């Protein structure tokens, strides 16, 4: 979904910590010039999906679109790396708005924590014992006692990441849905997850937390020994991401569903 056509007068090149990404940043900056991030019209992020997530967090609500080029390990959120023709690629790139989840977690000491996630919020067991969770959607208890290794709440942007590895559904970017996906469910064994409206409030309460401790994470932010976690979409925040038209988000989602 196109948001607007960004100005291209000032480009900021950012790189992950890898030498490959840093070398690409130096070369691109030499050819095209690089502006400070505060004065840039567009951000070009060089690295993998992890670095793209960091960049999306950094420039959230800035209005600066981010165009990723793959110089890392995983590159689902990135475009193909090419030195030549960058200005032409930026001029026709599709710009999409993505909103993060907001996670509110309370730990065993009663301390409240808050973090945002563009990919997913996940809970998982900290010890050899399976976790036990009570799952509610908008105040209605849907599962009284879910025994599992963990649970993922994924956005459309994150549905092809950890969520897909746990056999969760792939969600088109514009779909108003979140995926709630169990990790190795033991009881009820046949529950494979659910799709819920993105306006829903999801509450996960840890049962027997002293015996079966669990952690929660929102993208790169992890909270240990949580007792309760709520997840919802943050409708007041957004980041902008750019894709080449021939490898748009919609095309990637379709292609991913036909892989075998």
| Residue list, annotated binding site for NAD(+) | 49-50, 119-120, 149, 157, 160-165
Backbone angles phi, psi at 121, to 5 degrees: -105, 130
Residues 54, 57, 63: CA angle, nearest 5 degrees: 125
Sign of CA dihedral 14, 171, 98, 9: positive
Sign of CA dihedral 250, 253, 257, 258: positive
Spatial strand order of the sheet with 101-107 comes to 112-117, 101-107, 226-233, 202-207, 131-137, 140-148
Q: Where are the alpha helices (DSSP H) in 59-183?
A: 86-92, 162-165
What CA–CA distance (Å, rounded) separates 161 from 158? Answer: 5
Q: Spot the catalytic one: 2, 9, 38, 49.
A: 49
In three-state secondary structure terms, 152 is strand
* Residue 9 annotated as catalytic: no
Residues labelled as active-site residues? 49
């Amino acid at each position: 979904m196109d948001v607007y056509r960004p100005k291209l007068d000032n480009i900021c090149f950012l790189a992950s910590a890898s030498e490959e990404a840093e070398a690409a940043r130096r070369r691109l900056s030499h050819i095209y010039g690089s502006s400070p991030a505060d004065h840039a019209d567009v951000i070009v992020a060089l690295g993998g999906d992890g670095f793209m997530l960091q960049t999306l967090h950094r420039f959230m609500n800035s209005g600066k679109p981010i165009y990723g080029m793959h110089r890392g390990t995983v590159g689902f959120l990135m475009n193909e790396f090419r030195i030549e023709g960058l200005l032409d690629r930026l001029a026709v790139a599709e710009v999409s708005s993505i909103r993060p989840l907001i996670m509110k977690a309370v730990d065993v000491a009663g301390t409240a924590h808050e973090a945002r996630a563009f990919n997913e919020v996940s809970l998982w067991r900290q010890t050899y014992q399976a976790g036990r969770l009570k799952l509610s959607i908008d105040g209605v208890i849907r599962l009284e006692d879910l025994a599992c290794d963990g649970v993922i709440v994924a956005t459309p942007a994150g549905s092809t990441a950890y969520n897909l590895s746990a056999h969760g559904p792939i969600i088109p970017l514009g779909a108003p849905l979140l995926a709630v996906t169990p990790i190795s469910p033991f009881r009820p064994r046949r529950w494979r997850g659910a799709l819920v409206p993105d306006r829903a409030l999801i509450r996960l309460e840890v049962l027997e937390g002293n015996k079966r401790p669990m952690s929660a994470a929102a993208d790169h932010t992890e909270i240990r020994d949580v007792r309760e976690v709520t997840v919802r979409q943050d409708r007041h925040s957004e980041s902008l991401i750019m894709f080449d038209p021939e490898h748009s988000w919609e095309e990637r989602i379709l292609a991913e569903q036909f892989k075998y």
